[in-house]
């Protein structure tokens, strides 16, 4: 999986934003177990460089796929790992407003993980979790 994610990052570096869906979003949507390697990949990028490029690619993806909650969630992950908490909050907020009830619990778990990874995101995560909880309880 890491090889696919590396290829995706290389595509982004070359300006091939159309590859973001196939290298990241579709792979995770098809098998949600691929989310954990994505989290690890983004964490490594945050430590060694490249997380801003990941955010750039996912930003382009969400511009053309504005109804895709998962794309916004992946963008939120990249932004929070990149210590862009305000942008991460915005991306996750977009994900919350687009997620269906079936995936709301998964999104809630992703937000919890990101709050553990970046203490500056805790307040935002709490607000997002409240919105998701209301959706789940409906």
Please tell me the class of the 2-137 domain. Answer: mainly alpha
Domain positions in the chain are 2-137
Per-residue tokens: 62:
């969400």
Q: How many Cβ atoms from other residues are within 10 Å of residue 4's Cβ?
A: 16
pLDDT of residue 46 exceeding 90: yes
38's enclosing H/E stretch is helix 35-48
Do residues 137 and 116 make contact, with C-beta atoms less than 8 angstroms apart? no
Left, alpha or beta for 49 (phi > 0: left; psi -120 to 50: alpha)? left
Q: Is the pTM higher than 0.85?
A: yes
Q: pLDDT by residue (tens digit) across 18-38?
A: 888 888 999 999 999 999 999
Q: pLDDT-based confidence at 135, cuts 50/70/90?
A: confident
Rounded Cα–Cα distance for residues 111 and 115 (Å)? 6
């Amino acid at each position: 999986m890491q090889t696919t994610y590396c290829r995706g990052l290389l595509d982004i570096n070359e300006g091939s934003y159309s590859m973001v869906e196939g290298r990241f979003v579709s792979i995770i949507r098809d098998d949600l177990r691929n989310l954990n390697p994505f989290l690890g990949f983004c964490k490594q990028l945050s430590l060694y460089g490249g997380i801003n490029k990941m955010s750039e690619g996912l930003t382009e993806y969400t511009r053309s796929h504005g109804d895709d909650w998962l794309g916004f969630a992946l963008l939120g992950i990249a932004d929070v790992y990149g210590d862009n908490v305000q942008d991460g909050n915005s991306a996750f907020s977009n994900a919350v407003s687009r997620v269906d009830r079936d995936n709301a619990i998964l999104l809630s778990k992703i937000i919890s993980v990101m709050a553990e990874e970046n203490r500056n995101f805790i307040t935002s995560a709490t607000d997002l979790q409240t919105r998701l909880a209301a959706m789940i309880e409906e």
